[in-house]
Chain A
């Protein structure tokens, strides 16, 4: 009898626990806490990008009686989290940061809400080129928040030693000359990031653009074995032979300490002043001083979007409008914010204190987004792997690029 009773109790406990696992806790999903404050959750790219945004939240929370839970994630984790969140009928996030290169796959799959329908429109103060991927059929889906764009970070002393100044680095020829001189003087020349396929590709794209090449044509078909691509790759091999692959923190430390001459960087990594040993410039897109200038700065802009399954869309739209407000964005500059706005980047007071914003503004005006294709993640993984083979001598430039072209053609053919 005792055994039967024990069996029944255990079986009952198991049924209850399994039922509890599958149950829907309505009180938790109501988005309102016990004190009547609305709960919101936002997913951000960790680092300075999230830091500047978080600074603006208390005022909004106070005004709207909301509590905002912030999740700071790495780039890859953010990508995965936003996509996984989209598979739920009721989304966990109300606002998220989105990299421009994810736009195609996210809009194809209906991950993002139509901001125009929610009453948000981009204003004219925002640098126009940065908004090019934000629309689908005249409807806004993203707002460019943090103006990340590739720049050339350089050590001022090494550049001067080579007979140049930041203003006279007028072509890739000059870049190579400086790096080769640095190498001859026992220092490292050009530092690139070789720790994953994305970084390998992104660091190379400004060079490719300067040679007039691109990774896809106007029909989004791969062009990674074009003459321009091969020339750019051959130049890049010569350039990186003057230095070595390092991770981001080492790259910044190398250039800042004078151990290396230069490398491709992002404004969020380093804040140059008149006294700092390093500075950055926007690449002017010329392979040689006499060559035609191309748009050579690649965007890594962190945009803001609202997941289509957000439980607080209207409030999220208000939050997005608040965060994109020119004055609110201006207020983030002192903490390292880089708004994609003329009112911030061309402000006299800002430029007096942070002269590098002039360079950032130029780079943002002439920047290029990575291809807006749903297959971009697979695309850069394949291309980056082949570039890695070329750089490490496992394949020749022609072999590697032809293999990449074949694999990418197969990918794009579906």
Chain B
């Protein structure tokens, strides 16, 4: 009896100690994550305007911000643009990144050099990436148009033409972020047991069969993680759009974050901006729920 009490007493002490250890993390998370999220949710039901609030307290407006937002054709287009952008970039980045990872992993020599070179675009700050591409695609002195002209091919005003602006943003994002996918998948490929490849080859499996029955099953968790991270990141796209197109031409490149910046942040209408942020969070959660479920399993 005494022994049991002693054991349960030790367990209790261990539990208390564990609780004490994780309490700081819980408090930091509550302050840094939960508090802003709750505040944003509360603001989304008010007419809070940063400057107006200096004179009078914000009033509760119920679901007005949500109704205004969801009935706004510009917001609807921004949501569609964002979803389209996310799907396109995630698929392309996964394909390119995976292709690069397979290629570098198959190299007998020069893996380190290739790895470093391929990572460079991802190491650049987004502002630098945007400026580099703006210069390269400039209608005046851009190298792309100069090359096209030299080849007697049609030239474009890439970021101002409604037919090319969106595609350019996708291209730039793929160029910058495919190396991130490459890095994660390359690391995953390194951990695939070589014995499985040898066994597959001995059984007469070709490269495609090896890819689909050995490589992919072994790295599927990394593939899912990559897709999840890229989905979340692509959905929050802002700086490239803001720097290169401002959402134009004709709203064709406006993303949700760009919309929120134009109609919520720039105008200090934080009530509407908060409603938009909540809508965006919900969409990201829905989009990534598939991956999160997989991760929890």
The answer to whether B249 touches A391, judged by C-beta atoms less than 8 angstroms apart, is yes
At the interface, is chain A mostly helix, strand, loop or mixed?
helix
- A102-110, A176-184, A280-288 - interface stretch: A102-110
The distance from the CB of B158 to the nearest CB of chain A, in whole angstroms, is 11
The distance from the CB of B117 to the nearest CB of chain A, in whole angstroms, is 30
The total of chain B residues at the interface (CB under 8 A) is 38
Cβ of A7 under 8 Å from chain B:
yes
The answer to whether A259 touches B52, judged by C-beta atoms less than 8 angstroms apart, is no
Contacting residues, chain A, for B140 (C-beta < 8 A):
246, 250, 253-254, 257, 259
The distance from the CB of B257 to the nearest CB of chain A, in whole angstroms, is 15
Cβ of A242 under 8 Å from chain B:
no
The answer to whether A378 touches B263, judged by C-beta atoms less than 8 angstroms apart, is yes
Cβ of B20 under 8 Å from chain A:
yes
The answer to whether B27 touches A392, judged by C-beta atoms less than 8 angstroms apart, is no
The distance from the CB of B293 to the nearest CB of chain A, in whole angstroms, is 34
The answer to whether A111 touches B51, judged by C-beta atoms less than 8 angstroms apart, is yes
Interface string of A60-91 (1 = CB under 8 A from B): 00000000000000001001100110110000
Contacting residues, chain A, for B23 (C-beta < 8 A):
11, 14
The answer to whether B268 touches A83, judged by C-beta atoms less than 8 angstroms apart, is yes
Cβ of A337 under 8 Å from chain B:
no
Contacting residues, chain B, for A392 (C-beta < 8 A):
162, 248-250, 252
Contacting residues, chain B, for A106 (C-beta < 8 A):
51
The answer to whether A110 touches B55, judged by C-beta atoms less than 8 angstroms apart, is yes
Contacting residues, chain A, for B269 (C-beta < 8 A):
378
Contacting residues, chain A, for B129 (C-beta < 8 A):
none
What is the bound-complex CA distance between A80 and B265, given in angstroms?
Answer: 8
The answer to whether A244 touches B266, judged by C-beta atoms less than 8 angstroms apart, is no
- Of the candidates A105, A257, A388, which one forms a contact with B51 in the assembled complex, judged by CB atoms under 8 Å apart? A105
- Of the candidates B13, B138, B249, B263, which one forms a contact with A381 in the assembled complex, judged by CB atoms under 8 Å apart? B263
The answer to whether B157 touches A389, judged by C-beta atoms less than 8 angstroms apart, is no
Interface string of A163-184 (1 = CB under 8 A from B): 0000000000000000000000
Contacting residues, chain B, for A394 (C-beta < 8 A):
162, 250-251
The distance from the CB of B156 to the nearest CB of chain A, in whole angstroms, is 10
Interface string of A371-388 (1 = CB under 8 A from B): 000100110010001001
The answer to whether B160 touches A83, judged by C-beta atoms less than 8 angstroms apart, is no
What is the bound-complex CA distance between A84 and B49, given in angstroms?
Answer: 11
Contacting residues, chain A, for B247 (C-beta < 8 A):
196
On whether A194 and B160 interact (CB within 8 A), knowing A105-B51, A388-B250, the answer reads yes
Contacting residues, chain A, for B27 (C-beta < 8 A):
14, 18
What is the bound-complex CA distance between A36 and B134, given in angstroms?
Answer: 47
The distance from the CB of A102 to the nearest CB of chain B, in whole angstroms, is 10
Within 8 A of A (CB), among B217-275: 245-252, 262-263, 265-269
Contacting residues, chain A, for B134 (C-beta < 8 A):
247
Contacting residues, chain A, for B141 (C-beta < 8 A):
253
What is the bound-complex CA distance between A79 and B266, given in angstroms?
Answer: 8
On whether A245 and B157 interact (CB within 8 A), knowing A7-B20, A381-B262, A381-B263, the answer reads yes
The distance from the CB of A202 to the nearest CB of chain B, in whole angstroms, is 13
The answer to whether B267 touches A377, judged by C-beta atoms less than 8 angstroms apart, is yes
Chain B contacts to A: CB under 8 angstroms? 13, 17, 20-21, 23-24, 27, 50-55, 74, 134, 138-141, 157, 159-160, 162, 245-252, 262-263, 265-269
Q: Which 10 A-B pairs have the closest CB atoms?
A: A196-B246, A392-B250, A245-B160, A109-B51, A7-B20, A394-B250, A109-B54, A392-B249, A377-B267, A378-B267
